[in-house]
Structure 1
Amino acid sequence: MAEAMVVFQIIVLLGSMNAFVKAVGLVNSSCSQSCGNVSIPYPFGIEPGCYISDSYRIDCNHSFSPPKPMFTTFTQFEVLDISLDGTLRVNYPRFFSCSNGTKTKPFDSLAARSLVFSQSRNRFIAIGCDNFASLNDAEDAVICGCMSVCDNKAINRGNGCNGINCCQTTIPSDLQDFSLSLKPIDPNHPSSTCKYAFIVEQMWFETNLTSPSDIQNMSHVPVVLEWLIDSTLSSHVLGNNFSREYDDINSTYSCATHSSSLGSRKALTCSCKPGFEGNPYFPDPRVPERCTDIDECIGSPCSSSSFHCVNTIGSYQCLIIEPPRTKTYAIAIVISTCLGLLFLLIGGWWSYKVIMKRKNIKRKEKFFKRNGGLLLQQHLSSGEANVEKTKLFNSKDLEKATDHFNVNRILGQGGQGTVYKGMLVDGKIVAVKKSKVIDEEKQLEEFINEVVILSQINHRNVVKLLGCCLETEVPLLVYEFIPNGTLSQYLHVQNEEFPSTWDMRLRIATEVAGALFYLHSAASLPIYHRDIKSTNILLDDKYRAKIADFGTSRSIAIDQTHLTTVVQGTFGYLDPEYFQSSQFTEKSDVYSFGVVLVELLTGEKAISSTRTPEIKSLATYFIHAMEENNFLDIIDAQVMKDSKTEEIIAVAKLAKMCLNLSGKKRPTMKEVAMQLEAIQTLRTTPNVQQNYEEVENVRSEMYEQWDVISTSTISGADSGVASSSDAHPLLSF
């Protein structure tokens, strides 16, 4: 009898070992489980027959000691780690250039291997002085990029990657192939340092480097790739009997198909169910041991020595050890223990709720103080802001209004934060802007000042600030909701119901100019917007213009002429004079408005990859056409159809003056607004030529010096715009 029991135990042990081998993902006993120090789980493999398809083959290079696993596309990458959660870490080459010109290099496509770069775990980094680095698609169009300026002191201090000698940005989703480009920001001021650019794993970059400059000594850096299984290969995982999702209630694993980066094809993902561990991709669905049960009793999870842990399939139970006493006494012990546990759970739950509620209140108070809530309350109570229109919202109301900031509620994203669509308890539709984290030392006063100033602005062509919330980690601003999108969408997306006629465009230009004139001259304190562009001009239900996004705006003293700041703005709209001097004036907003005016005339985008590099900037393209006296050739067909030539010439001259490289020679927004209103008046007057001359005479009497520039011939106006070769690179980003 004893011998039979021993034989039975040996059979059970052998069966358990067989189940373990299948659970870790071995296709057969001859398949290698690792290469060097890296584990190679199925669906990946080294030998033929050990991987699901050729896309998952790993080459084990034994010329290294220890051997290194290599993943081959067109070139080989060293594999650092393979995880069954769908990620693959490899060493990827970095790109560099030590010349002052533009250098571009195409990188191998990952499409053949069904791989993409992980957007959430990687970053695009560029290191170097005076450096603009970008990732380009197959048509050489920029898909992402960043710019770093020079600061030798920052190089010596080894500062982080914040835009000075080093910059970083997120990469697009589903990125598989690209070319990388390095170019100087200003070719006329060559830099003696080498420039570097690469995609890198964000956590590795932040935790393993003492300074971004350490990357200069490395040829490769870690990146995280995402792998997935084409659903056409599902039979290799689920077998021929399972062509759809597999989630049997009695199985230890589940598989499902979903949309992926494989075009119209689906991807298959599998996972072990809770309480099980192993490799869910083992290619035999008839074997339940592909995900084996976890023995939860290891480590004694039961809370008392009076309990005995019993492992079950996918879980465990804690059973009471019955003492050798009378049955009545045992029942009393069980009842009292259960009641004690019940009261303990209720008391613990109540205590937890109280503690969490107090903690949440203190947390909100901390954020409220840190975000300047007390200072803002002082401003509101002192009457410096419009108390009736400015409201302090609480975080709970705004979370409810935006469905806890659901990604489906996002209206837009920018450098200052993310804007969500929300509905307040009274049914009012609003736009909630979730700002980025504020630097408590440097930006708190400016943020509060901005809220106070914007609460005083009352102009029909400026988006209204309804209030803010300061009891969250980042400040929340609440604006009126503008339903018809941006001017950029209106110009560049076909709209048959409301076509972009000349009357509509001229009205929008006049409204924006009037609003900027109000901000510059009529507000209690002059306000510089600093980011005028077609995407920051919204259109309401009647297609009236509304200037938005005051995240980078600044107010100044009445006797102050400029702001000295770190250069901020958008390529194509950025004032070249501000870019060179870092001094922002009211004429910098005039330059940006000039670009918007040219967009309205031509229907073209501010930056376009379809134009040649020399005239990629719309401002350069337009000035060149004016100088060649053929600017009518680039005017939008709808404008040519709806307007008169005299009107187009007048607006074109005005745009050219706004785009003058010298800020002193540009008109003020007051003069621009008056000129546009005059042109609008001409459209409603029967005798166009006669009234055009009358309006010109009136304007000449009021602004004689400026009128000499604005009413001169095209050739005469050309002399007011610097056209030297030194100026062009500043307009061709």
Structure 2
Amino acid sequence: MFLQITCVVLILSEMAAAAVAAPLAKPNCPDRCGDVEIPYPFGTTKDCYLNEVFWLNCSDSSSSPTKPLLGYIEITKISIDGQLDILSLISFRCFKNSSGVLEYDNEPYLRVLDFTISNTRNKFVAVGCDTYAFLNAFQNNEPFSIGCTSTCQSLRNVIDGSCSGIGCCQVDIPKGLKNFTLDARSYNDHVKVGSFNPCSYAFVAKQDWFNFSSDYLQESQQGNKTYPMVLDWAIGDTTCEIAKNQSGYVCGRNSQCYDPENGDGYLCKCINEGYEGNPYLEDGCQDINECEADPNPCNTTTSTCKNTDGNFTCICLDGYEGDGKIASGIGCRPKANKSSVNIIVPLAISIGLVGLFVGGSSIYCGLKRRKLIKLKEKFFQQNGGLLLQQKLSNYRASMETAKIFSAEELQNATNNYDESRVLGQGSFGTVYRGVLPDNKIVAIKKSKICDRTQIEQFINEVIVLTQINHRNVVRMLGCCLETEVPLLVYEFITNGTLSSHIHDKNLSSSLSWEKRLKIASETAGALAYLHSSTSVPIIHRDVKPANILLDDNYSAKIADFGTSILVPLDQTELSTLVKGTFGYLDPEYFYSNQLTEKSDVYSFGVVVAELLTSEKALSFDRPEKDRSLAMYFNSAIKEDCLHQILDDQIVNDGNINAIHEVANIAKWCLSVRGEDRPTMKEVAMELEGLRIMGKHPLVKTNLYIEETDYLLGAPTHSFNIDVYNDSSSAITTVGLETMSNQVVKPLDDGR
């Protein structure tokens, strides 16, 4: 019966739509260009469009089919609910055979000031075995970039339909992007892969339209210069509430405005299903006369149909009662005699139905509760809960810190994961601010995905992280395993990220040189602890200012171990899929896939360079050769012009020598070869020595050794460390002195 009613409703809707031919364009204006319908506010001739933003050029050439153009962009479909299907250009860079000689390239620029890239209908895609690509756009009138990298050594590991970084990579489009350029590049000019993959490609693809295949790698796509994508459009740049009270408001009769999810402005829609048409025209939303539909929505043998404004009614004939509508299944039935039997029977039936409803509801709620309990138990076992309990019993000292939270505890702590509790979002999950029953504030990380094959490794990481007891590492308090994806609970750090303090002008002024040196020293000490002092060495793999939190005393706290790896004690390097953040990624790790603790050292070197310069690790505002801060920083030191890129707020006559020392440490960390870099323990000792010299006014970097010995009255023990200078094959010998049991390294700008 339900299926029949549904079918009738669908038929009625289709017939009603056919009965009313609602106008799309303004009177006496063309409503098509070739095969594309052109609804107002768009138009192709004068006085037929709202303003210049919505003017389309309807080309008419004997050599090509008629098609609408927005500037030079071809339109394939216009939807009145705010979407515009277009053909966007592809960025490509192709090389001749395996010679590394560029054969042809294309870097398109889509300039549509008033329209926004749809973040729900598109994705950014890069294709190639030696490829990195960027989408550079504007968000809220500020430059913004996203990108990804795609590599492969052969076609053996390429999987059709998979776009996970092997031959193809893709990323989601953020909200509010306009005016974008595409940039597809390669690392080695396809020299190593040119025999089967000569080109790098980048494009914005319509969701579910692009399906990756290895054919894309082998074939030249030069002829395919466009790809379908979707733009979001809206009226003006003010919200719906403001536009209602302004002149030029375009929503017509029987329509209402609403705010789009992506971008500025407002959109219009007909007020309900009883109206149909173009809501941007004055009389665009017209009443549908359902009574003229075939078949009629009323049972014509027992009722008559009457059209109403935006709806219809069925009037039963004399001797009948009901609503008369076919779709409701009630229709019109003969009126019943009002005898006592006819009253008692329905009453008894009603009471019985109420009893059945109450009993059924109780049974249903009980079954649902039992099902929820079983589901929690299932997730708990799938997520390694039994294994975690077993391991916790072997670490009795950690029982108080490694707590297993229930799903209800964390749901109540975050007010059911309310959006107002969100502290931050990343590619691996969302972090919420939570308040436990004892009023303790915590940070709760909710991951997006969970790899069931890595559960044992995940449990081992939880055990190790809960045992980490270092004042400069964010402490893990426990986890919840009763949900589909495990939740991790950390201590809450109050003062935000180091990244915001460096790059926010309002906050950076309070970040003095002493605070920056302290942050660098504490971060180095924490990384050294992770590399060499934990029961199982840990490589963080994503060291950057965004993952360094600050408390109210500006003490550094390393956070976000989502990409970290536990290193077996008998191994010094791991072969793994490259993960990390552009600008901080160790080049040796990127090319070899061999991860060592020296990869963290390189990333730390970039962090120190940011602390000294307040520049971003990757910036398109700098010239192309200086986009990478690591290269920009090393070049400045090599050319003896470091002072030109230092943050003026931290430089003074009293600390310039210490700044040069820290810069040399950063340069050491940024050595291209991992074997030329120091260990984090060496870096931590160097920075801590500089901090101590800064705290004691009697210890100055320009004192002679004899004067230092005399003032401190301590014996001098010296030894040498040979450090390979990454700019030459020469070896620099650095002398270290022991003063009052503290190692202090004299300044050596020549490192």
Q: TM-score, normalised by structure 2?
A: 0.79
1:115, 1:226 within 8 Å by CA — same for their partners in 2?
Answer: yes
Within 5 Å, give how 1:496-511 maps onto structure 2. Answer: 499-511=510-522
Measured after TM superposition, the shift of residue 398 of structure 1 is 2.1
1:124 maps to which residue? Answer: 124
1:11 maps to which residue? Answer: none
The aligned amino acid for 1:160 is S
The aligned amino acid for 1:86 is G
2:423, 2:433 within 8 Å by CA — same for their partners in 1?
Answer: yes
Distance between the aligned counterparts of 1:269 and 1:215, measured in 2? Answer: 44
2:413, 2:435 within 8 Å by CA — same for their partners in 1?
Answer: yes
Residue 402 (structure 2) aligned to one of 386, 390, 400: 390
Distance between the aligned counterparts of 1:632 and 1:28, measured in 2? Answer: 64
Question: Whose helix fraction is larger, Structure 1's or Structure 2's?
Answer: 1
Distance between the aligned counterparts of 1:294 and 1:362, measured in 2? Answer: 54
Measured after TM superposition, the shift of residue 165 of structure 1 is 0.9
1:721 maps to which residue? Answer: none
Q: Given the alignment of the two structures, is residue 79 of structure 1 paired with residue 76 of structure 2, yes or no?
A: yes
Residue 461 (structure 1) aligned to one of 440, 453, 472: 472
Measured after TM superposition, the shift of residue 130 of structure 1 is 0.8
Distance between the aligned counterparts of 1:294 and 1:211, measured in 2? Answer: 54
Measured after TM superposition, the shift of residue 268 of structure 1 is 3.5
CA distance 1:326–1:596, shift in 2 (3 Å)? closer
2:449 maps to which residue? Answer: 437
CA distance 1:655–1:116, shift in 2 (3 Å)? closer
My pick for the range that moved more, 688-697 or 406-415, is 688-697
The aligned amino acid for 1:173 is K
1:310 maps to which residue? Answer: 324
1:148, 1:167 within 8 Å by CA — same for their partners in 2?
Answer: yes
SS, match of residue 629 in structure 1: coil
Distance between the aligned counterparts of 2:515 and 2:240, measured in 1? Answer: 56
Residue 278 (structure 1) aligned to one of 271, 276, 295: 276
2:383, 2:455 within 8 Å by CA — same for their partners in 1?
Answer: yes
Q: Give the aligned length.
A: 680
Distance between the aligned counterparts of 2:250 and 2:647, measured in 1? Answer: 53
Distance between the aligned counterparts of 1:176 and 1:319, measured in 2? Answer: 54
Within 5 Å, give how 1:554-569 maps onto structure 2. Answer: 554-569=565-580
Distance between the aligned counterparts of 1:472 and 1:158, measured in 2? Answer: 32
CA distance 1:288–1:73, shift in 2 (3 Å)? closer
Measured after TM superposition, the shift of residue 598 of structure 1 is 2.2
1:551 maps to which residue? Answer: 562
1:44, 1:52 within 8 Å by CA — same for their partners in 2?
Answer: yes
Distance between the aligned counterparts of 1:362 and 1:317, measured in 2? Answer: 39
1:662 maps to which residue? Answer: 673
Residue 586 (structure 1) aligned to one of 585, 589, 597: 597
Distance between the aligned counterparts of 1:397 and 1:652, measured in 2? Answer: 47
CA distance 1:310–1:224, shift in 2 (3 Å)? farther
Gaps of 5+ in 1: 1-15, 718-733
2:322, 2:333 within 8 Å by CA — same for their partners in 1?
Answer: yes
2:274, 2:288 within 8 Å by CA — same for their partners in 1?
Answer: no
Within 5 Å, give how 1:73-222 maps onto structure 2. Answer: 73-80=70-77, 82-99=78-95, 103=105, 105-111=107-113, 114-137=114-137, 143-154=145-156, 157-158=159-160, 160-187=162-189, 189=191, 191-192=193-194, 193-205=198-210, 216=221, 218-222=224-228
The aligned amino acid for 2:151 is V
Residues 354-377 of structure 1, C-alpha deviation per residue, up to 9 Å, x if partnerless? 343333333323322222222222
Residue 230 (structure 2) aligned to one of 217, 220, 224: 224
CA distance 1:554–1:280, shift in 2 (3 Å)? same
The aligned amino acid for 2:204 is I
Distance between the aligned counterparts of 1:286 and 1:552, measured in 2? Answer: 54
SS, match of residue 505 in structure 2: coil
Distance between the aligned counterparts of 1:342 and 1:551, measured in 2? Answer: 53
Distance between the aligned counterparts of 1:631 and 1:43, measured in 2? Answer: 56
Q: Given the alignment of the two structures, is residue 403 of structure 1 paired with residue 405 of structure 2, yes or no?
A: no
Residues 600-652 of structure 1, C-alpha deviation per residue, up to 9 Å, x if partnerless? 22232222323322222222222222222332333322332274333223222
My pick for the range that moved more, 343-352 or 374-383, is 343-352
Measured after TM superposition, the shift of residue 51 of structure 1 is 5.6
Distance between the aligned counterparts of 1:628 and 1:395, measured in 2? Answer: 58
Distance between the aligned counterparts of 2:677 and 2:407, measured in 1? Answer: 45
Distance between the aligned counterparts of 1:520 and 1:601, measured in 2? Answer: 25
Distance between the aligned counterparts of 1:482 and 1:293, measured in 2? Answer: 65
SS, match of residue 398 in structure 2: coil
Distance between the aligned counterparts of 2:734 and 2:292, measured in 1? Answer: 81
SS, match of residue 181 in structure 1: strand
Measured after TM superposition, the shift of residue 351 of structure 1 is 4.3
Distance between the aligned counterparts of 1:254 and 1:162, measured in 2? Answer: 43
SS, match of residue 224 in structure 1: strand
CA distance 1:560–1:699, shift in 2 (3 Å)? farther
Gaps of 5+ in 2: 1-14, 300-313, 315-319, 724-730, 736-745
Measured after TM superposition, the shift of residue 135 of structure 1 is 1.5
CA distance 1:364–1:63, shift in 2 (3 Å)? farther
Residues 474-501 of structure 1, C-alpha deviation per residue, up to 9 Å, x if partnerless? 2211111111111122122234697111
Distance between the aligned counterparts of 1:37 and 1:323, measured in 2? Answer: 55
The aligned amino acid for 2:394 is S
Distance between the aligned counterparts of 2:417 and 2:291, measured in 1? Answer: 39
CA distance 1:203–1:64, shift in 2 (3 Å)? farther
Measured after TM superposition, the shift of residue 541 of structure 1 is 1.7
Measured after TM superposition, the shift of residue 583 of structure 1 is 1.5
Measured after TM superposition, the shift of residue 587 of structure 1 is 1.9
1:488 maps to which residue? Answer: 499
Residues 137-188 of structure 1, C-alpha deviation per residue, up to 9 Å, x if partnerless? 4899661111101232346643510011101012232233211111112348
SS, match of residue 437 in structure 1: coil
Distance between the aligned counterparts of 1:244 and 1:40, measured in 2? Answer: 17
Q: TM-score, normalised by structure 1?
A: 0.80
CA distance 1:140–1:238, shift in 2 (3 Å)? closer
Residues 57-96 of structure 1, C-alpha deviation per residue, up to 9 Å, x if partnerless? 667788899x98844212242424x444322333434332
Distance between the aligned counterparts of 1:463 and 1:233, measured in 2? Answer: 41
Residue 380 (structure 1) aligned to one of 386, 389, 392: 392
2:25, 2:43 within 8 Å by CA — same for their partners in 1?
Answer: no
Distance between the aligned counterparts of 2:715 and 2:722, measured in 1? Answer: 13
1:6 maps to which residue? Answer: none
CA distance 1:466–1:59, shift in 2 (3 Å)? same
Q: Given the alignment of the two structures, is residue 413 of structure 1 paired with residue 409 of structure 2, yes or no?
A: no
Distance between the aligned counterparts of 1:168 and 1:514, measured in 2? Answer: 36
Distance between the aligned counterparts of 2:575 and 2:636, measured in 1? Answer: 33
Measured after TM superposition, the shift of residue 537 of structure 1 is 0.9
Residue 639 (structure 1) aligned to one of 650, 653, 669: 650
Q: Percent identity?
A: 40
SS, match of residue 415 in structure 1: coil
Q: Given the alignment of the two structures, is residue 576 of structure 1 paired with residue 587 of structure 2, yes or no?
A: yes
